[in-house]
Amino acid sequence: MEEFDFGIVGLGVMGRNLLLNMADHNFSVAGLDLDAEKAASLEKEALENHTIKGTTSAEEFCGLIRKPRAIMLLVPAGKPVDAAIKSLLPFLEEGDVLVDGGNSYFPDTDRRVKELAEKGIHFFGMGISGGEKGARFGPSMMPGGNAEAYERLRPIFEAVAAKVNGEPCVTYLGQGSAGNYVKMVHNGIEYAIMELIAETYDLLKRGYGVEDSKIQQLFAKWNESELSSFLVEITSEILEKQDEVTGKGLLLNYVSDAAKSKGTGKWTSQNAMDIQAPVPAIDAAVQMRDISKYKEERVEASKVLKWKDNSETSEEQIFEELTDAFYFAMINIYAQGMAQLFIASKEYNYGLNLEEVAKIWRGGCIIRAACLEDLRQAYTKTPELPNLLMDEKLGKALQEKQGAARNVVKTFIDKGIPAAVFTSTISYFDSYRSEILPTNMIQAQRDYFGAHKYERNDQEGIFHTEWV
């Protein structure tokens, strides 16, 4: 029986496209799916020079892969991952490598790593970003697990990953659940940048009544500047798509404003609180999606909770200031996410190299952006940089652009347009640069009502006071 280089369990859009990508790079690949039609269609999609085999039998599938086996699971997170592992286990051997390529919650990955290690099997959690097109032509991949076992995966992953300046957008990130954790924070950053773009659009459209075509031109222009990114690019394309159902205007104007989510942004926010890593922009983005779900209540509230536009900022002025304000907010978002990774790496002993994280996010993934090269250079210069706001180049740029950011936030407030992420980035910046914060008052309050004690700033020790 022919020995195949790699196998994937789950032949949905992502699994099928990733296998075809591997086959394009001259790897022989096998796919397993319970759906016979999906297994059969995989081989039909193969090109003449591809070596691809689809099957519905776990035993046959495992028999196809050369040892030590390298198998990826591309099934929904949660119980389906455990079910897939269980179906494969009778046919696996010591030294085999399993990779979970879904958005699994990182504690689940830690559990699976431990359980499978007892059987001599290496388990990797690997985030994959780029969607179906990325899977087919080059994603960004974030693997974490056993360093030695990664060598079985490395040649294949480096071949199929997106490339930037010839460098593959994949690297070994660290042990245990490091890969899933990095992907989780990637998605949190994604949530915040998407909300940032939405707020920009809202201010222009609802606040100033700017025509859709003019907003589209702004995002297209931004995509040719230092603001260039995948999310800015697709926004300009979304603002061009006409509605084919009604034939009347922009499709976007018919899309519901009740947003959906799959939980990764929420996980980022929840865990950031657990490890005391402040990420207010990500928190705000998650909360705005939650608020959007209460459509009926918002409709009723809009009838009674009124506000008169008090803005004195002209449309021309806001267009000028938005570019700098957007850059200011975007860098703050990346800074918060990377700071969370810095703290988590120490908390969970991942050993993350943040320069490598910035490098593999430059291409293939949803949050790829021109500014990520500047982020990479910041960590190259200072590997243990705790916060990107302290990088000389980035800090100087934020210093210069903060005035525009403050003016734009004032305009949002004067117009009564929500700006949760824009506003949170200003607050984060101001909090981080504050030598003194008013939390001394909070410490005094805690001691007053709960005898929680406090520290003094003029002498060592722990103190309690009878305040009245």
Tokens of residue 229, six digits: 């990114």
Q: How far apart are CA 128 and CA 82, in angstroms?
A: 19
Name the nearest CA neighbour of 60 among 100, 20, 17, 7: 7
Q: How far apart are CA 164 and CA 223, in angstroms?
A: 17
Known catalytic residue at 190 = yes
Q: How far apart are CA 268 and CA 249, in angstroms?
A: 37
Q: How far apart are CA 203 and CA 317, in angstroms?
A: 13
Tell how strand 122-129 and strand 140-144 pair up. antiparallel
Residue keyed to tokens 């998407």: 194
CA atoms within 13 A on the CB side of 122: 24
Q: How far apart are CA 408 and CA 321, in angstroms?
A: 7
Whether 159 and 250 have beta carbons less than 8 Å apart is answered as no
CA geometry: angle 395, 333, 431, nearest 5 deg: 65
Tokens of residue 446, six digits: 């805690």
Catalytic residue among 183, 205, 359, 415: 183
Name the nearest CA neighbour of 274 among 394, 105, 156, 467: 105
Q: How far apart are CA 267 and CA 277, in angstroms?
A: 13
Catalytic residue among 190, 199, 321, 355: 190
Give the start-end residues of each E strand in 274-430.
none
Amino acid in the structure at residue 398: L
Whether 424 and 283 have beta carbons less than 8 Å apart is answered as yes
Known catalytic residue at 183 = yes
Q: Is the dihedral of CA 348, 352, 358, 364 positive or negative?
A: negative
Tokens of residue 20, six digits: 């075809």
User: Which residues carry out catalysis?
Assistant: 183, 190
